[in-house]
Chains A and B, each alone.
Chain A
């Protein structure tokens, strides 16, 4: 075993431990936990037995197994950045709409002004705002 294989497999085992913690805290469901454990197990196998990938390397015409792994890693990282960017954007918009709806509802209650129409629609908050006004 080379140092690189040792570091890579240690990292994968550490990540499995992190997954198990999140499973215990119920941040991850059983299905999600299985997915991540499988992913890191495959990572360990590939780190310890890179020759298993030689067939794929030949088919895709990569020079080395390492090149294939770099390309896969790059694809995974960029797709995760992309997903996180949109998820963050969506959450920010939802938070903004929710906070605005709350501010409107609070002022409508304190000034006892009957709002002319519903405040800006807030995803997932419409019911709550209506209930407060009553």
Chain B
């Protein structure tokens, strides 16, 4: 309950308790989702889960915690699921800001108030930044490469781009509304944010890995790199 009151107080200025929604994109997350949603609902009841065509009981588990469960009939990818959740929050629930959080228990929902507090200030996009030194070497290299690539092509250095823990305002979402449907979405958000000079802030978050086999593969990384160069022209 302490967290919930903090969460409410954090947005006293601009964002009201009812105007911030947490969006959790989930694909085959039956193992961790219950744990994640328990932690989130201890902070806020405003949770949207987007089941991205899971084959397990992700949607059933999600419905135990919230009535805002959007189900994709087929798997579209993380970017598409995030977009579905954000579209629903901003257009149907009247949200003024959303916090995006992965469904695999990598992110600590107790930090939600910090994200919202920064959004209440000047920031329009808040990124959760993990401790790089605690990451597996290959991911650390990929992570740094992504930041450098965005800096070289778009002129802004954004830390820990692949982190899925993010918060953004409605205005920022209108500027950032991405096209990517897969994991490359995080890179596109960074590219668009750098391009549109959106004020970006960061919150330090713990580095947690439960299952290193899940998530991005080398193919996703290659796709991402090829996309970045095309975004330099198209965005």
Contacts and interface: CB of A to CB of B under 8 A. Distances in A.
A115 B68 CA distance: 13
Contacts of A104: 70, 84, 87-88, 92
A102 B68 contact: no
A117 B93 CA distance: 11
Contacts of B222: none
A106 B51 CA distance: 13
Give the size range of A's interface with the partner. 10 to 19
- B interface: dominant SS: mixed
Interface stretch (A7-15, A49-57, A93-101): A93-101
B70 A107 contact: yes
B76 A116 contact: no
A99 B74 contact: yes
Interface string B140-161: 0000000000000000000000
B62 to A, nearest CB: 11
Interface string A27-61: 00000000000000000000000000000000000
A100 B83 contact: yes
B73 interface: yes
Given A99-B72, A102-B73, A104-B88, A111 B181 contact: no
Given A92-B181, A100-B84, A116 B71 contact: no
A107 B70 CA distance: 6
Given A95-B76, A100-B83, A107 B88 contact: yes
Interface in B38-70: 50, 53, 67-70
A120 interface: yes
A71 to B, nearest CB: 28
Interface in B70-104: 70-74, 76, 80, 83-84, 87-88, 91-92, 94
B198 to A, nearest CB: 22
Given A92-B181, A103-B84, A107-B68, A116 B74 contact: no
Contacts of A117: 91-92
A114 to B, nearest CB: 9
B7 to A, nearest CB: 23
Nearest to A114: B92
A116 B88 contact: no
Contact of A103 (B67, B72, B91, B181): B72
Contacts of A120: 87, 91
A4 to B, nearest CB: 37
B73 A119 contact: no
